Amino acid sequence: MNNVFFIGLVSFFADLSTEMVYPLIPIYLTQVFGATPALIGVVEGIAESLASLLKVFSGYITDKYRKKKPIAFLGYATGLIYKLALLVAGSWIGILGARVIDRFGKGLRTAPRDVLVSESSDSAKLGSSFGLHKALDMAGSAAGILAAFFIMKAWRGDYAFKRLFLLSCVPAIASLFMFIFIKETGNPRNSKEPLHVFRGLKSLDARLKLYLIVVFIFTLGNSSNTFLLLRAANVGFNPASVVFLYFVYNVVSSLLAMPLGKRSDQIGRKRLLVAGYLTFTLVYAGFAWAPNKAIIVAVFALYGVFTAMTAGVERAFISEIAPRELKGTMLGLHSTIVGIALLPASVIAGLLWNTFGAIVPFAFGASLSLLSALILAFGLRQKVTGAA
């Protein structure tokens, strides 16, 4: 569990750094560069999808060489490069390039990091371990957002954005320092031995195949979080208040991630995942038809509940039923599917917003989430406690 804790601290500092700037990206694009919602959708969609193929490749390399720590380190190191790229960006194209660098790093580090968490955990406490990691991850996000909130309150104008980008480099460096305390897991693999990926994919557990299909359907309606922030600004929240709303989301998720992960160890992953998708349906319905600012605040908090229900639980589910020799590949494949679906999801959301207004993209997302919940509820058999 010590390994899981230090991996969590890596994520804590990395997310502290990232979330100091992430909530401000859509505002920076619109206020400084005059970007439209559709253009923001294109930027976010391209950034996610260009790096998505790397995620499954990273998982494959992790399985082939069983060297998780150096691959994860390299992925987190790109987070520092991302902040520096934001500093020098002079147009929306420069911001796009910075976002691609950021997503490239996330694609590189996600699979080896998740395998490290899985192999550092007792199999009976897999949900708790991923919950602990997610709790620290979201706590870092909350801390970064809170820092951005107070800085934005104190500083004004374009200069405030640049200073934030520079300050965010400090926790990015701290995240890399935490790797000193992380131990490599598993035994090295003879790289000359063939890794039968396609044979393994053909023999995948039917539950995993179904879940990956559901993930794609769900993600088509789950556009970038920038649209949630844009929606908050659309109903009258100022930039600093938008940042604070994102802070509320992260705090709720951080507080609930570990207890809900532990709960999935007790009652099974399926129940938590179905409940999570139903919760997301309510969240997007709230964003679509919110009659006032109070509802927007409430749905940001509820969005944190959804994340706590699903983010760690789905990784635990995939880790425990994926073939042992392809665990990294399957975790990477999951992230790749999400990344591929995010391009059309974000572009569709932006176009729907531009054409029909803010309600339609969120109603579309709520519908796909409800469909995903129904498929999981009636199509995914639950085998044993602790598995979906």
- Check residue 381 and report its DSSP letter: -
Single-letter amino acid, residue 83: K
Residues ≥6 apart with Cβ < 8 Å to 52: 103, 107, 335, 336, 337, 338, 339, 340, 342
- Check residue 292 and report its DSSP letter: S
Asked whether residue 190 is domain-assigned, the answer is: no
Domain count of the fold of the chain:
1
Asked whether residue 277 is domain-assigned, the answer is: yes
Domain that holds residue 250: 2-182+198-379
Residue 277 pLDDT:
96
Spatial CA neighbour of 38 closest among 342, 346, 345: 346
Asked whether residue 262 is domain-assigned, the answer is: yes
Residue 312 pLDDT:
86
Residue 385 pLDDT:
39
Distance (Å, whole) CA 364 – CA 82? 32
Distances in Å between the Cα of 118 and the Cα atoms of 4, 45, 285, 310 are 9, 29, 34, 16
Residue 201 pLDDT:
59
- Check residue 157 and report its DSSP letter: S
Distance (Å, whole) CA 182 – CA 115? 13
Asked whether residue 388 is domain-assigned, the answer is: no
Residues ≥6 apart with Cβ < 8 Å to 91: 33
Asked whether residue 386 is domain-assigned, the answer is: no
- Check residue 123 and report its DSSP letter: G
Asked whether residue 110 is domain-assigned, the answer is: yes
The pair of structure tokens assigned to 387 is: 């598995």
Asked whether residue 384 is domain-assigned, the answer is: no
Distance (Å, whole) CA 266 – CA 260? 10
Q: What is the pLDDT of residues 95-131, one digit of tens each?
A: 888 888 888 888 888 888 988 998 888 878 888 998 9
Residue 216 pLDDT:
93
Q: What is the 3-state secondary structure (H, E, C) of 170-184?
A: HHHHHHHHHHHHCCC
The DSSP secondary structure of 222-259, one letter per residue, reads ---THHHHHHHHHTT--HHHHHHHHHHHHHHHHHHHHH
Ranges in the chain, pLDDT < 70: 1, 45, 48-53, 155-159, 187-203, 382-388
Asked whether residue 130 is domain-assigned, the answer is: yes
Residues ≥6 apart with Cβ < 8 Å to 346: 41, 42, 44, 45, 48, 223, 224, 227
Residue 382 pLDDT:
58
The pair of structure tokens assigned to 330 is: 């399957």
CATH of the domain at 169: 1.20.1250.20
